[in-house]
């Protein structure tokens, strides 16, 4: 069987063989009036895909198709969908459902809804508002995805599919904290880590008008950081790197993907009084230890944000068009071999700075 009865993709079948995805066919959830079927054209490869498919973040249903930076064409649109029509190019990120009626959902913070549903590896709850129950969500290394209108984003023509795909998760994950914590002209903003997330963070902070301070362990990525928009680059392997910047920054967005030897105390010392340290990277393991004493001298706040809302995705894409923000992307044709290569590169941190799977027609047909 093929679409519309089943969707095809490449799935992880066991945590041990996480880097050997194999062909998998599944039946999507029942089509609801607010649903959209998307024929996928490009899908970014996110660190979450690796953390999930390896079991690093905990148990997941298997077989599992990962991928939550999805771009494609709407091929079927439910009767109650208002903002999207058949033929539109649309995107889907890391969230594909929420209750739609709680305060968070009503106030543009649907990514914090208690009934959050992940784009892959979640189970639609029994009695879910669109009628599905018990279906496991499957991601974008696939021919199609069935998504709800709220979590389906019209894409501006100016943004090419393979470049806008990584914005659906990595882009939004870094845009939202900057926006919510007041990044803008006159602000000094720190970005820790230059990877898939950080390379977006630098660009958004610059595009929003801030002065951008970039922190990386060594000088290896200095040139890239400056090309991406860094005003000041700091290698934290250097002795006393923090001293000259004490109490200089308004906020820091931490995109680091490892918490080993992470010197959070030094970073906190860089913040002005009541400055914000916002975490968006999610390394596996225990995380870092914070000594309350390290918060006293400047009264800082430590927090986090979780992806972003639909309103923020749309704003973010407009900013990308207006200011020319584009991720640095390497493309790999989707296939069993291509998925394997992409996941392995992401796992090994061997990506500058994002991989997008492309050529879906070759794998799944027109």
Summarize as ranges the residues that interact with Zn ion (CB under 5 A): 46, 48, 94, 98-99, 102, 105, 113, 169
Tokens of 365: 């047909």
At closest approach, how far in Å is the CB of 131 from Zn ion?
A: 17
**Residue among 99 and 314 whose Cβ is closer to Zn ion:** 99
Tokens of 108: 């543009």
**Residue among 41 and 49 whose Cβ is closer to Zn ion:** 49
**Residue among 75 and 102 whose Cβ is closer to Zn ion:** 102
At closest approach, how far in Å is the CB of 263 from Zn ion?
A: 26
**Residue among 102 and 321 whose Cβ is closer to Zn ion:** 102
Per the CB < 8 A criterion, the answer to whether 66 and 141 are in contact is: yes
**Residue among 275 and 281 whose Cβ is closer to Zn ion:** 281
**Residue among 48 and 60 whose Cβ is closer to Zn ion:** 48
Identify the CA nearest to 171 among candidates 213, 199, 140.
Answer: 199
Per the CB < 8 A criterion, the answer to whether 354 and 196 are in contact is: yes
Place of tokens 């595009």: 207
At closest approach, how far in Å is the CB of 13 from Zn ion?
A: 21
**Residue among 194 and 270 whose Cβ is closer to Zn ion:** 194
In what helix (H) or strand (E) does residue 224 lie, and over which residues does it extend?
helix 222-228
At closest approach, how far in Å is the CB of 100 from Zn ion?
A: 6
Q: Is 350 exposed, middle or buried (0-12, 13-18, 19+ CB in 10 A)?
A: exposed
Q: What 3-state DSSP class applies to 283?
A: coil
At closest approach, how far in Å is the CB of 185 from Zn ion?
A: 29
- Say how far apart CA 364 and CA 143 lie, in whole Å: 6
- Say how far apart CA 202 and CA 181 lie, in whole Å: 15
At closest approach, how far in Å is the CB of 95 from Zn ion?
A: 10
Q: Output the CA–CA distances (angstroms, integers) from residue 141 to 136, 250, 282, in the order listed.
A: 15, 39, 22
At closest approach, how far in Å is the CB of 239 from Zn ion?
A: 35
- Maximum Cα–Cα distance across the chain: 64
The neighbour count for residue 59, using CB atoms within 10 Å, is: 8
First and final C-alpha spacing in the chain: 15
């Amino acid at each position: 069987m093929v679409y519309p009865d089943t969707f095809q993709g490449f799935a992880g079948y066991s945590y041990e063989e996480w880097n050997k995805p194999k062909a998998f066919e599944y039946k999507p959830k029942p089509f609801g009036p607010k649903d959209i079927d998307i024929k996928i054209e490009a899908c970014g490869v996110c660190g979450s895909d690796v953390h999930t498919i390896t079991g690093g973040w905990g148990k997941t249903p298997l077989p599992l198709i990962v991928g939550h930076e999805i771009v494609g064409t709407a091929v079927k649109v439910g009767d109650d969908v208002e903002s999207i029509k058949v033929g539109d190019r649309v995107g889907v990120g890391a969230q594909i459902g929420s209750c739609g009626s709680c305060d968070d959902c009503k106030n543009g913070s649907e990514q914090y809804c208690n009934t959050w549903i992940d784009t892959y590896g979640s189970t639609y709850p029994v009695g879910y508002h669109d009628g599905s129950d018990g279906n496991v969500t499957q991601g974008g290394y696939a021919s199609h995805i069935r998504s709800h209108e709220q979590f389906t984003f019209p894409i501006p023509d100016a943004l090419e599919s393979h470049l806008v795909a990584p914005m659906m998760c990595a882009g939004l994950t870094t845009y939202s904290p900057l926006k919510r914590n007041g990044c803008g002209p006159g602000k000094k903003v720190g970005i820790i880590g230059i990877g898939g997330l950080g390379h977006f963070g630098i660009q958004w902070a610059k595009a929003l008008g801030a002065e951008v301070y970039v922190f990386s362990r060594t000088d290896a990525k200095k040139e890239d950081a400056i090309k991406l928009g860094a005003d000041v680059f700091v290698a934290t392997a250097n002795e006393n790197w923090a001293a000259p910047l004490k109490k200089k920054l308004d906020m820091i967005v931490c995109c680091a993907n490892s918490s080993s030897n992470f010197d959070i105390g030094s970073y906190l010392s860089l913040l002005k009084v009541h400055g914000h340290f916002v975490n968006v990277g999610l390394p596996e393991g225990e995380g870092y230890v914070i000594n309350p004493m390290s918060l006293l001298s400047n009264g800082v706040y430590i927090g986090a944000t979780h992806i972003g809302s639909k309103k923020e995705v749309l704003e973010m894409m407009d900013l990308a068009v207006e200011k020319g923000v584009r991720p640095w992307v390497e493309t790999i044709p989707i296939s069993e071999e291509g998925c394997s290569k992409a996941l392995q590169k992401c796992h090994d941190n061997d990506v500058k700075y994002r991989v997008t799977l492309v050529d879906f027609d070759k794998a799944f047909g027109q």
